[in-house]
Amino acid sequence: MSELLKDKSTIVLGLANRWSIAYAIAKAFRREGAKLILTYQGERQQDAVEELAAELGAARLLSCDVTQETDLAHLSEILRGEGDRIDAVVHSIAFANKEDLSRPFVETSREGFLLAHEISTYSLIGVSRAVAPVMTEGGSIMTLSYLGAVRVLPNYNVMGVAKAGLEASVRYLASDLGPKNIRVNAISAGPIKTASARGIKDFSKILDRVTESTPLRRPCDPEEVADTAVFLASDLGRGITGNVIYVDSGYQIMGF
Ligand code: NAD
Ligand code: IMJ
């Protein structure tokens, strides 16, 4: 079969390590012939991410802390300066303070709420604004969400509220950017053992429960999420925008 992302330039934000969903997506994008630009959060991750970027055959690696307006402006400047067209962008970034993911939701502090929303939700809007001008032939923007956006799940708390805002942002961005043939979607993934999930209390219990009750009787793996990202980035996804696609072994449909 021919490569689905041949001649496409892509940006993947949110690569921290080999377990990151962003890593699986970057790998699948390369497999399908895409040119890859990767961004990472900051100096603390630089060495590790440089190694991964080389291994993935990335064309560029940029530092981009989404809380820094200057970093986003810099990203936008670099993209415009190089006259590089961008075809697809993956936003795979989330953060909340650890204590907000364990104490009762009603205890969420103003600071914790704002931080989670700044990093996990607002950043999609900032990134979209930075890349839209260089998506000169249309494009595909996607982000990663979780079922906690629409259902109450233990401890997900402020992240659930941030993901609800993220999914609503996907719809408003899709409406705004649709006339430029830029599509915006979310992939709602089932639980995957990444750095962002590892520290979560009872995570293995959650995985066991998912395995028992999903139609497919297995947890989802990052490669399945990545293949859906390939589809959304490719011309095969050209009719889909403003959507949340569940890649969760079917867990979301179950009522028992
Ligand atoms: P991960 O920890 O590998 O990825 C999270 C990324 O966010 C990291 O690369 C981190 O550097 C980045 N990040 C945090 N703060 C940032 C900042 N200020 N600026 C730039 N980057 C910043 O974990 P992951 O599981 O791959 O998470 C990726 C996305 O997938 C997140 O949006 C997460 O909510 C979502 N998701 C994860 C699961 C799961 O079970 N792992 C399920 C559904 C959705
Ligand atoms: C996160 C918290 C609570 C329950 C959870 C998760 N479940 C799953 C996750 C059931 C699957 C992982 N997930 C979907 C996330 O979006 C994680 C986001 C996250 C994780 C951490 C851990 C370390 C930290 N801050 C975090 N911020 C966001 O300090």
Say if residue 202 is exposed, middle or buried (CB neighbours under 10 Å; 0-12, 13-18, 19+): exposed
Does a structural domain hold residue 151? yes
Give the chain's radius of gyration (CA, Å): 17
Does a structural domain hold residue 78? yes
Strand (E) or helix (H) holding 40: strand 35-40
| 4 CA from centroid of ligand 1 (Å) | 25
Could you tell me the two tokens for 68?
């820094």
Does a structural domain hold residue 254? no
Q: What is the CATH number of the domain that holds 130?
A: 3.40.50.720
The single-letter DSSP state of residue 237 is: G
Query: Could you tell me if the CB of 24 is within 6 A of ligand 1?
Result: no
Domain containing 124 equals 9-249
- Number of domains within the chain: 1
Pocket probe for ligand 2: among 123, 147, 200, 209, the residue whose CB has the most ligand atoms within 8 Å is 200
| 5 CA from centroid of ligand 2 (Å) | 30
Question: What is the predicted pLDDT for the residue at 1?
Answer: 67
Does a structural domain hold residue 54? yes
Give, for all 256 residues of the chain, the pLDDT tens digit. Answer: 699 999 999 999 999 999 999 999 999 999 999 999 999 998 888 999 999 999 999 999 999 999 999 999 999 899 888 788 999 999 999 999 999 999 999 999 999 999 999 999 999 999 999 999 999 999 999 999 999 999 999 999 999 999 999 999 999 999 999 999 999 999 999 999 998 888 888 888 989 989 999 999 999 999 999 999 999 999 999 999 999 999 999 999 999 8
Question: What is the predicted pLDDT for the residue at 236?
Answer: 98
Question: What is the predicted pLDDT for the residue at 247?
Answer: 98
Query: Could you tell me if the CB of 67 is within 6 A of ligand 1?
Result: yes
Does a structural domain hold residue 2? no
pTM exceeding 0.75:
yes
Does a structural domain hold residue 4? no
Does a structural domain hold residue 3? no
Beta bridge partners of 90: 12, 142
